[in-house]
A and B are shown apart, each in its own frame.
Chain A
Amino acid sequence: MSEVAKAPQTLESVTIRFAGDSGDGMQLTGTQFTETSAVMGNDLSTFPDFPSEIRAPAGTLAGVSGFQLQFSSQEVHTHGDAPDVLVAMNPAALKVAVGDLKENGIIIVDRDAFTDKNMNLAGYESDPFSDGSLAAYRVFDIEITKLTLNAIQELGLPQKQAVRCKNFFALGTVYWLFSRELQYTESWIESKFGAKTPSLAKANKLALNAGYNYGLNTHIFPNNYVIAQAPVEKGLYRKVTGNEAVGLGAVTAAELAGVELFLGSYPITPASEILHFLSHQRHLGVKTFQAEDEIAGICSAIGASYAGAAALTTTSGPGLALKTEAMGLATILEIPLVIVNVQRGGPSTGLPTKTEQSDLFQSLFARNGDSPMPVLAATSPGDCFWATIEAFRVALRYMTPVVLLTDGYLAQGSAPWKVPQISELEKIPVEFATDPEGFQPYARNEDLSRPWAIPGTPGMMHRVGGLEKQNITGHVSHDPANHQVMSDLRAEKIRKVQDMIPATEVYGDADAKLAVVGWGGSFGAIRGAVDHLRAQGVKLAHIHPRFLNPLPKDLGEILAGFDRILLPELNMGQLAYVLRANYGIEVARYNKLEGKPFKEAEIVTAIRAQLEEMG
C-alpha cells in the first residue's frame, strides 16, 4: 500500500519519446505531456515523427508513430538528441526507437503487446527482454493493457474501446515518474469526451489515475523526478507549431498592414496545416482558396495581390518547383506576395514527412531570367510567426515576391510561445496609389518600389504583364537598353532590402577563432551546442542570418573576422556555396541528409573536430 516514497530527484532536462503503433494515440499522449509541462513552467520543445503512410499495417515498423519532447528548467533549443525515457507501446516501437535511447535510459513497455505475432511483425527473432539486447537500459515492462482493463472494468466498455485507454495509463505512469500534475489532462479529457461520451471520459481518467498510482504504489521505479520551472519571461503563453505560427503571422501581418489576407494553396505535406489553419479564420475575413494545383495556388495569390490583398501561397519543395514560372511573373509584375516553402527531403517526392534544408538553391535561383527575390528563413516554431511578418513587411514595402523558408522540423515541432500584443507591434505601412494625375505604373520611390494601383480605383486603369516593361510607363518594351535598365532596377531593388536588415548578431564570443554559422531550422541545435561548449570554457560564436537574399551588409566583414567558419546544413552545402560566391570565403562544411534535424551532440562533435584541426 501507499507509503511515503523516496524524495524525488531533481533533474535539469529530460527527453522523452512516446512511441507506438499509429493507432495507439502517441501524438495525443505526447501533446498532453507537453501541455502539462508547459503549464507547470518548463521550457520545452517537441517533434512528432510519424510515417508517411496514413494507415500503415498495424504492428509493423512502418506503422510506428513517435512523439519526442525535451522539457527543462533551463532554456530549451531542441526536442532533445537522445531520449532519457522511451515509452514503447509495442515491439515495433521498441525496435524503431531503442537505438536512439541514452545509455542507461529508461524503457517503459506494454508487456501485453509483446505477443508472438507482434514480435514477428517487428522482426524480433528472440525475446529482447531475455536475450540481453536491452542490457544497456533500465527496462520496466508493465502489463499496461491488462492493468488498464482492470482499472476500467467497472464501466463495462466494449473491449476494443477499453483497450484504447491504455495510452492514458502509460501517460499516468510517466506523470508520476516526472511529478506532473494530473489536473490539466483530466480537464482536457473532460472537455474532449465529457459531453458526448461521458463513459469514455471516465475511462480515460480512471486509466490515467491508475497509471499514476501504479508508479506511486508499486515502487518498481527506484524514485521519481522533479524538473523545476524554467526562468521564462512573464506573460501569456501558448504552444505553437511552426505551421500554426506562419498562419498566425500572416493574419497579424495583414492586420498590421491594414489589408485583407488571401491564401492560395494546394495541399502538400508538410505545409498543409497552414492551409487548414487559415481556412478556419473566415470570421476574421481571411479568404483561402484551395487551388487545383500548385501553379494555381500561387497564380490565385498573384491575382489577389493584384487586387490589393496581403497575398500568401504555401507549399513544400516539389510545389515550389511548380510555382517557379509564376514567381517570375510576380517578380516582373512587382507585386507583393509571400511564398512559404516548408522544406522536406528531396529531390522529387523525396521524403515528404522528413525535414531538410535543401531548397535554398531552388529559392534563390530557380527561375528563368535574372529574377532576384528576397529569401528569409525562420529559426524556430515561434519564430515562424515573426519571420512571416518580416516576409510581408519586405513584400509590401518593396513590392516584391518573398520566399520564406521553414522546414518540416519547425512546421511540426512545437514550443511555448509568448503571445505578443498586436498594438505594440510596428505597423506595416501600405499606401495604395489613387491619384491619376501623372500616374505611372513603373515609377519608383526611394526604395525603388513601384505604386500599388488596384482594380476598382477610378482613373488608375493600366496594364501590366510578363513582357518586359518600359521603365516608368510600364508599356511593353523590347528595347535592348531598356531591358538592361529594368534588369538593373529589379536587382538593385532587392539589394536595397539590406536597408531594413538589422546589424548581424554575433552570439557568444566575438573574439573567438571559430564561428558556427547556420540558417533556418538548425538554429536550436547549433545554439544548444555552442552553449554547451561555451559552458565548458570554449570560445565560440554563433551567427545565424535570417536573410539569405540579400545577405546582410555586414555579414562578409563579420565572417572575415574569424579564423574559421563551421557551417552545418541539412543539405550538400548550399549556403556554403552562396557564401563562397558572395565573399570568396571557404567554410568548413558539416552536411547531413538523413531526413532528421541536427542533434546538439552532432554539432558539438563537429565543432570539436574543427577546434582540434585548428590546434
Chain B
Amino acid sequence: MSNYPIFEPTDPSGLTRKSFVSNQEVRWCPGCGDYAVLASVQKVLPELGIPQEDFVFISGIGCSSRFPYYMETFGMHSIHGRAPAIASGTKAFRPNLNVWVMTGDGDGLSIGGNHLIHAIRRNIGLKIILFNNRIYGLTKGQYSPTSEMGKKSKSSPMGTVDYPFNPISVALGTGGTFVARTMDANPKHMQEVLKAAALHEGTAFVEVLQNCVIFNDGAFTDVTSRQSRGENTLDLVDGKPLLFGNKNEKGIILDKKMRPQVVKVDEVGLENILVHDADNEAMAFMLSHMTIPNHPVPMGVFRSVARPSYEQLLEDQINTAKAKKPNASVQSLLESGYTWRVE
C-alpha cells in the first residue's frame, strides 16, 4: 500500500516569470552574468506547460550554485561537484519531475567531472546548465579547468601550464544528445536555447559563457560584446548554412584537409557553404573546436538527436518485469529460493 500523497497537479497556464521568483535576496556581485541566467530561466519556465511543483533545481558549490535559492521551485544546494549524481537519483526515481542541474566550470568540470560525463553518457533527463566564467569565483580567483593556457591567477602567478577543457567537446565526447552554447549577454538567445534544452528528452547540456566581473572581467568580451559579436560568433541553426558576420557575408567551408575555413560567401557561392546538421556528431565536434581568432565562436545547438532516456529505459524494464510476474509480491520474494518447511 502506497503512502504517497495523491493530488491534482496545479495548472501551469497562469504561471509567469514572477511565479518563479523566490523570497530570497539575490546575492551575486553587481554586474555578475549569473543574473542574466536567472532572469532567462525564470522567463522560460512558465512557457513550458509544466506544473510549478514539478521543477527541481539542484546545484553543487560555487557562485552559480546559489541559483536554487532564488527559484520558487523545489531546490537543493548540494555539495561540490555532486549535483549531477544527486539529480540523477531524483530523475531516475521520479521521471515526471523536470530536473535542472546548475553548475560551473569548477564544479562541473573539475571536482565533479566524473559525475558530469556519466550523467551525459547515460542520457538521463537532466537539464545541465554550466556557467563558464573560466575562473574560480567563490574561492576568490584561482584558475579553473577552462582557464586559457598561460592564465595568470592567484594560484598561477607565472601563468597556467595546463590546457583547458572545451566544455562543448567534453559533452559531445561523452555522447551528449543535446549540446548547446549561449551567453549571458544575449538573453533572447539564451531563452531560445534554454527552452529547447528544457523540452529535450534525455540530457541537455548548455554552456553559458558568463562574465565574472570581479575575478575574470571581460573573459568573453570579444565574443559577447555587441560591437564584435557579429564578427566573432556564428549562430547555429539546424538545416541552415554556417554564416556569420555583421551582414552574414561570411561562411564556413571545409578545406581539402577537412579543416573549417572562413570564406566570403560571394566568393564561393552560398551553395558551397556548410549546412548545419544537428544530427551530425562529427560536424558538431568540428564546430566545437572553432574559436577566435581563426574562426567565429559557434553559438546555439551543436547537436540535438533523439535517443531514449535512461529513465525511460529503466521504466520500460520495470514494466516488462512486472508484466512477466503480474502476481509478484514481497511475500513471494521472501519465500523464493531454496526453501523447506519444518513441520
Contacts and interface: CB of A to CB of B under 8 A. Distances in A.
Interface of A: 35, 38-39, 41, 232-240, 244, 248, 251-252, 255, 257-260, 262, 264, 281-285, 287, 289, 291-293, 295-296, 299-309, 311, 325-326, 328-329, 333, 419-423, 430-432, 434, 455-467, 475-476
A302 B89 contact: yes
B24 interface: yes
B2 A434 contact: no
A257 B333 CA distance: 17
A434 B93 contact: no
A455 B89 contact: no
Contacts of B91: 303
A465 B325 CA distance: 40
Interface in B308-343: 314, 317-318, 320-322, 324-325, 328-331, 333-343
Interface residues of B, number: 69
Given A303-B58, A306-B86, A329-B78, 18 more contacts: A41-B342, A234-B342, A238-B334, A238-B335, A259-B2, A289-B89, A289-B92, A291-B118, A300-B85, A304-B89, A306-B76, A306-B89, A419-B334, A458-B9, A458-B51, A464-B77, A466-B78, A476-B69
Contact of A304 (B2, B8, B93, B96): B93
Query: Which 7 A/B pairs are nearest by Cβ-Cβ distance?
Result: A303-B89, A465-B77, A300-B89, A258-B3, A299-B85, A296-B85, A282-B321
12 contacts: A236-B339, A238-B336, A251-B330, A283-B322, A291-B88, A303-B85, A419-B335, A422-B330, A432-B5, A434-B7, A455-B56, A466-B61
A272 B120 CA distance: 25
B53 A460 contact: yes
Contact of B330 (A235, A238, A284, A293): A284
A285 B82 contact: no
A233 B88 CA distance: 45
A248 B78 CA distance: 31
Given A251-B333, A283-B324, A455-B90, A464 B75 contact: yes
A296 B114 contact: yes
A287 B313 CA distance: 12
A455 B73 CA distance: 9
A282 B328 CA distance: 10
Contacts of A258: 1-4
B97 A260 contact: no
A465 B322 CA distance: 36
A39 B330 contact: no
Contacts of A458: 7-10, 51-53
Nearest to B311: A287
A299 B339 contact: no
A303 B338 contact: no
Nearest to A39: B340
A463 B77 contact: yes
B115 to A, nearest CB: 6
A237 B92 contact: no
Contacts of A304: 89-90, 92-93
A259 B3 contact: yes
Nearest to A264: B89
Contacts of B329: 284
B332 to A, nearest CB: 9
A115 B279 CA distance: 64
B115 A461 contact: no
A306 B2 CA distance: 17
A237 B3 contact: no
B45 interface: no
B314 A326 contact: no
Contacts of A305: 89
Contact of A455 (B9, B53, B314, B340): B53
A422 B74 CA distance: 35
Interface string B102-124: 00000000000011001000000
Contact of A259 (B4, B7, B61, B335): B4
Interface string B62-76: 000000110111111
Contacts of A308: 4, 93-94
B331 A421 contact: yes
